Amino acid sequence: MDRVALRGLKARGHHGVFPREREEGQTFIVDLVLHLDTRPAAAGDDLAKTVHYGVVAEEVVEVVQGEPVDLIETLAERIAQQCLKHEAVAQVEVVVHKPDAPITVPFDDVTITITRSRV
Q: Is residue 64 within a helix (H) or strand (E), and if so which, with residue range?
A: helix 53-65
Residue 109 exposed, middle or buried by CB count within 10 Å (0-12, 13-18, 19+): exposed
- Residues annotated as catalytic are 98
**Alpha-carbon distance values, 89 to 10, 38, 58, 78 (Å):** 22, 10, 16, 15
Strand ordering across the sheet containing 111-117: 2-13, 26-36, 91-97, 111-117
Q: Is residue 16 within a helix (H) or strand (E), and if so which, with residue range?
A: none
